[in-house]
Chain A
Amino acid sequence: MSFAERMLHIDRRIIFLVIGLCTLIPLLYPVGLAIKISPEVKSVYDYIESLPDGSVFLLSLDFDPASKPELYPQAVALLHHAFKKNLRVIGMTLWLPGTGMASEVISRVAREEGKVSGKDYVFLGWSPGASSVIITMGQDLYKAFPTDYNNQPTAELPVLKGVQSLRDVNYVVSLAAGSTGIETWYVFGKDKYKFELGGGCTGVIAPGLYPLLRSGQINGLIGGLRGAAEYEVLIGKKGTAVAGMDAQSATHFAIILLVILCNVFYFLIRTSGKTAGQN
């Protein structure tokens, strides 16, 4: 077996070790490279920035703990921004396993910003049906969620004063880890009830949402950890996303290097095979 063949059949644990080190070392010794802001993230920021005090902002945390590293920092950054702008925040989720996490992030950021549950924000929780939840909310929000996550009757909450349905919501952002999320909010919500919609998503599904962005079906898109880091930079509150960007840089470059090496060895084997065939 030639050197190139041996390298192509390298023990995968060595690759795991390289990736592990590329993740760990930058987290321990951060470099802090500058993060360029993309137009799609800036659009979400600008829209929230343009909303007057007391506007209604609905954040749908449509993800489960598996996507926490990417979407949780997005939620934190968006909530800080919304609370700083004195928006009335409605939180909810279409993903049952994410309910506890969604409740925790909203109450934690609200506490940090000195906001009160029921007065400045409400967490509605989860209700079965996904698309039918959105339709019911579009028809009558109180029919979809008669009580909030803390069993308080929603109709009596000051934060929802003047809000009858999704038509009264100024801006909806769905942080999605799958198809039940941004696409569902567009198809069953925005299209009929005419609110402005933005999105945040994991890096894996971001390319699939660009058609919605280009056509104006969503006004902005926060993609993956990078998008969260950009938003943290925009609001001037660097958190876990910015801290994770160095690790992501290192792992991306490690994978690029591995792919290049694999192709070099592949072509070496192919060339030597052809030469052997000619001889």
Chain B
Amino acid sequence: MTLLRRQLPLLITFVTGILFAAQYYIPHPASELMLTSVSKWLQIIAGFALILGVTSLFHIHAVKIRRKEPGWGYSFVLYAGMLGTIVIGLWHGGKETTDGVTTAFGWIYTFMMVPLQGTMFAILAFFIASAAYRSFRARSREAAVLLIAAVIVMMGRVPLGEHLIPISGDITQWILNVLNASVRRAILIGISLGAVALSLKIIFGVERAYLGGGKE
């Protein structure tokens, strides 16, 4: 069992990791053909991952309903919504419109999903305003710098700000292009180096958390 649980996955990871890291630098037709095939495999695996995700979601909420855990009613609504949408979606072949006419699936999408998601995002403005009022305080020198920068950028990103203080737009551009970009780039370089290090650890079998913690 150790072979199937540990050694084989480690070997596959090592071989594919080395192979596809090298592939990037070898523009030979055979190498490109291999990439084409494997990228298609990846798409197929991603498709199965979606099924796995949906199955897992169904399982978690089925347990909640069966045990009548707090909020199990919401799980029931989720079940009804998901099953209803899947059945109607399959019935209409996943099409929102047929010959220019909106299908039931399209109706669910246009008149339920779009406004619901839009509403969820829109209420952020209200909560951000409330949170800013309660917590955006110049408690320290660093917080004061952040506060001033935020006020300038908020002014410079809207026509009224540029109308009242014309230079606010230029200062905003400078903050975004120079201060923000340089700090973000430093963070990105750090993240990328971390990703490279982690990838090497996975390829060489040092990092094995992805194998799971099952008994050997």
Contacts and interface: CB of A to CB of B under 8 A. Distances in A.
Interface stretch (A52-60, A81-89, A247-255): A247-255
Given A132-B43, A140-B36, A143-B40, A68 B181 contact: no
Interface residues of B, number: 58
Interface residues of A, number: 69
B106 to A, nearest CB: 7
B128 A139 contact: no
B80 interface: no
Question: Main secondary structure on chain B at its contact with chain A?
Answer: helix
Given A132-B42, A258-B132, A207 B160 contact: no
Contacts of B120: 66
Nearest to A35: B159
B147 A144 contact: no
Interface in A223-279: 224, 226, 245-246, 248-256, 258-263, 266
Contact of A255 (B96, B128, B184): B128
A213 interface: yes
A236 to B, nearest CB: 18
Interface in A113-142: 127-133, 135-136, 139-140
A35 B169 CA distance: 11
Contact of B118 (A68, A143, A206): A68
B56 interface: no
Interface of B: 24, 32, 35-36, 39-40, 42-43, 45-47, 49-50, 96, 106, 109-110, 113-115, 117-118, 120-122, 125-126, 128-130, 132-134, 136-138, 147, 150-151, 154-155, 157-163, 169, 173, 176-177, 180-182, 184-185, 188
B62 to A, nearest CB: 23
Contact of A127 (B43, B133, B159): B43
Contact of B181 (A8, A18, A213): A213
A259 B184 contact: no
A139 B39 contact: yes
A15 B133 contact: yes
Interface string A63-105: 0111111000000000000000000000000000100110110
Interface string A1-41: 00000001010100110111001000000000111101100
Nearest to A130: B46
Contacts of A161: none
Contacts of B151: 256, 259-260
B125 A262 contact: no
A162 interface: no
Interface of A: 8, 10, 12, 15-16, 18-20, 23, 33-36, 38-39, 64-69, 97, 100-101, 103-104, 127-133, 135-136, 139-140, 143-144, 192, 203, 206-208, 210-211, 213-215, 224, 226, 245-246, 248-256, 258-263, 266
Contacts of A259: 132-133, 136, 147, 150-151
B181 A210 contact: yes
B46 A65 contact: no
A68 B117 CA distance: 9
Listed residue (A207, A226, A261) with the most chain B CB atoms within 10 angstroms of its CB? A207
A225 to B, nearest CB: 9
B184 A66 contact: no
Contacts of B126: 15-16, 19-20
Contact of A100 (B109, B129, B182): B109
Contacts of A255: 128-129, 132, 154
A12 B43 contact: no
A159 B86 CA distance: 33
Nearest to B184: A211
A145 to B, nearest CB: 10
A36 B42 contact: no
A16 B122 CA distance: 12
A210 B184 contact: yes
Contacts of B118: 65-66, 68-69
A19 B129 contact: yes
A246 to B, nearest CB: 8
Contacts of A256: 151, 154-155
